[in-house]
Amino acid sequence: MNNDYLLSKRILLVDDEQELLDMVVSILGEAGFCQIATAKTVKEALDLADSFQPELAILDVMLPDGDGFSLMEKLKGEYPVLFLTACGEDDDKFKGFGLGADDYIVKPFLPKELLFRIRAILRRSYKDENPLVKLHGSQIDFSRAEVIKNGEHIPLTAKEHDLLSALYRNAGRIVTIDTLCEAAWGDNPFGYENSLMAHIRRIREKIELNPSQPVSLVTIKGLGYKLIVEGR
C-alpha cells in the first residue's frame, strides 16, 4: 500500500482539551494527513461521525458528557479506534481492548509513537485501496466493481459494491443486518431488511458457484452475514 493512500484516510479526533487537539492536528498535518475532524464531546463526535464518515477514530476516555468507552460502542465498530488518554490504569486498558479498540496510548506520548501506531492501524484495517479479493470459485475486483467467475466478468451494482465492501472490511466476522443496511442506504436504514435480502441473493448469484448452497457469503441466523475470504 502506498503512503499517499494512508494519508487520505479521514481521522476523527475526540478530546475535551483544545491544546491537545491542536497538538495532535499539527502532528498529523505535518505528517501529511489531510482529512482531520475534531470534537470535544460525545454528542459532537456522534454528530460529526454521521457527516464526516471517519475511517479512524482517536478517542479520549474522559469526556464532559460521557466517556470514550460508551462513545466507541455508539460508533458501532464501523472503523478502527485508538484510545489516546491519561487513563493509564490496567483496568482502563483492558476495558478498551475488551470493547475492540485497536490500540491504547497513555498521555504523555511521543509524536513519532502516535504516528507509528496510527499507520499500523490503517495498514491492518485498509490493506489495499482496490483489492482483488479471492473467494471460493470467484474473485471480487473492487476497483472495477465486478466479479470474476469462470472467466466471466460480472458487473456489480452500486449497492452490491457497498454491501460487499462492508462485508470485506469485516471479512471472517459477522456483519449485522443493521450495519449492512446502513452501509447501503445511509442514515435511515430501517425498513430495508427485505431489500437487503434481495441484494444478498443477487450477490450470491454472482459470487457463488452454487448460490443455493453458499460458502463465501454465509448467513448467520438471527444476526447477519459473514464473508469468507480465502487466505485469511
Residue ranges covered by each domain of the chain? 3-125, 132-227
Q: Tell me, what's the pLDDT at 136?
A: 94
Report residue 116 CA to chain centroid gap: 19
Q: Tell me, what's the pLDDT at 130?
A: 55
Single-letter amino acid code for the residue at 172 = G
Nearest alpha carbon to residue 14 among 61, 67, 70, 60:
60
CB 222 within 8 A of CB 126: no
Of the candidate CATH numbers 1.10.10.10, 1.20.120.160, 1.10.10.60, 3.30.450.20, the domain formed by 132-227 belongs to: 1.10.10.10
Distance (Å, whole) CA 142 – CA 134: 11
CB 160 within 8 A of CB 176: no
Q: Tell me, what's the pLDDT at 219?
A: 96
Please list the pLDDT of the chain residue by residue as tens digits (232 residues). 345 567 778 899 999 999 999 999 999 999 888 889 999 999 999 999 888 889 999 999 999 999 999 999 888 777 899 999 999 899 999 999 998 899 999 999 999 999 999 998 988 887 655 568 899 999 999 878 899 999 999 999 999 998 998 898 888 989 999 889 888 887 666 778 889 999 999 999 999 999 999 999 999 998 999 999 987 6
Q: Tell me, what's the pLDDT at 128?
A: 55
Q: What is the homologous superfamily of the domain 3-125 according to CATH?
A: Response regulator (3.40.50.2300)
Distance (Å, whole) CA 102 – CA 9: 16
**Hey, is 178 helix, strand or coil?**
helix
Distance (Å, whole) CA 16 – CA 80: 20
